[in-house]
Structure 1
């Protein structure tokens, strides 16, 4: 009888301990979720590539539109950067392009509108989100491009590529200079992050998943923080 009572008492004690630990973890996580991190004083322009009539490339299996995926990743990146204390300006926040009601020269108008947003923002960095496509379907992984002869842009690309390469499969690729309007339109540190290849069925399945999009946003954020010599753990502990 004594043994049974002692055993029941032990079980009850363990249950109470588990409840208390669980409550403590929930409380800590809730506090962290609502903790207002200090502003860092850096402004980032996030450009979700394409939009409107310009859907970009399409997934080889699902035919998903690049423009839609760009916006989803860009919004997750905006949320992540904001939570870490960055000020963020988006070039587009909907599926529409930036060319207005005009029907002529829509692509030119769209790109010029993005350039105006960048110049007006006077940002510390510009990150344009895209999806890649290549005739050889075996190509996989994210790759970062920067403006030729822009050393700060090169450094930003290097940091983002390194973090992606260390944490995501098939992303250990070379960061390269590229002749793209969105990085050429200003002298601010600017990069294009090609998040993966929609020409590869495996990459496509990753890119359409909410979980992988969140990982991309998080690791791009860490790459940006590394560029500014910011330790994310020090920010959280403040």
Structure 2
């Protein structure tokens, strides 16, 4: 009788542990099972926008690393198209930039990821232009919804007045069939935003805000 009671108790405890494991997974790791690809814009021969000795490609990578960490904390499996200062063009390519973008698109498409996020900085001849903004291509039906949700988070937490915008002129995003958007996280040509975007704490804030948008998007799925 005692052995029977012990066996029943063990089975009960095992079931309780299993329940708690899955319950914790759902609550603490809401992105568990999601695959997300981050594309740090530019790199290598293509530095992107430049202000004096500050390269967009460098800041894109730093912010992408911060974003990767935040998404992983939520349980996502995260990959990036580049992990250093290099481009993805094939050797001896006639047009290295187009080769680079084509390879990025192919990598993201083949991954069959649940979401991709392309991280960039904006630039303008006027130093007064500022604000983070999301761009999307209508190649995937989910893209506008993603852009809308993330832009709302940017407005709420980074105080941008910009609206998300459709674009059909970006070579990479016309070719990526997976759901995703391009996020211009600020203007490298704006003194205030340039100062902030170089700071680790602000890069972490940007990453947290984007992650918040990602969480809200998957809540709608």
Q: TM-score, normalised by structure 1?
A: 0.76
Unaligned 5+ segments in structure 1 are 1-35, 231-238
Name the count of aligned residue pairs.
192
Of the three residues 33, 52, 55, the one matched with 1:65 is 55
Q: CA deviation at 1:103?
A: 5.3
> Is residue 167 of structure 2 the alignment partner of residue 178 of structure 1?
yes
After superposition, the CA RMSD in angstroms is 1.7
Q: CA deviation at 1:38?
A: 6.8
Distance of 2:93 and 2:113 partners within structure 1: 30
Aligned pairs (5 A) from 1:188-227: 188-227=178-217
Unaligned 5+ segments in structure 2 are 1-27
Of the three residues 96, 114, 121, the one matched with 2:111 is 121
**Is contact 1:128-1:182 (8 Å) kept?**
no
Q: CA deviation at 1:182?
A: 2.4
**Is contact 1:78-1:88 (8 Å) kept?**
yes
Instruction: Report what 2:83 is aligned to.
Output: 93
Q: CA deviation at 1:98?
A: 0.7
Please identify runs of 4+ aligned residues in structure 1 that moved more than 6 A: none
**Is contact 1:166-1:172 (8 Å) kept?**
no
Q: CA deviation at 1:173?
A: 1.4
Aligned pairs (5 A) from 1:140-151: 140-148=130-138, 150-151=140-141
Q: TM-score, normalised by structure 2?
A: 0.82
Which is greater in Rg?
Answer: 1
Distance of 1:81 and 1:139 partners within structure 2: 29
Distance of 2:48 and 2:139 partners within structure 1: 27
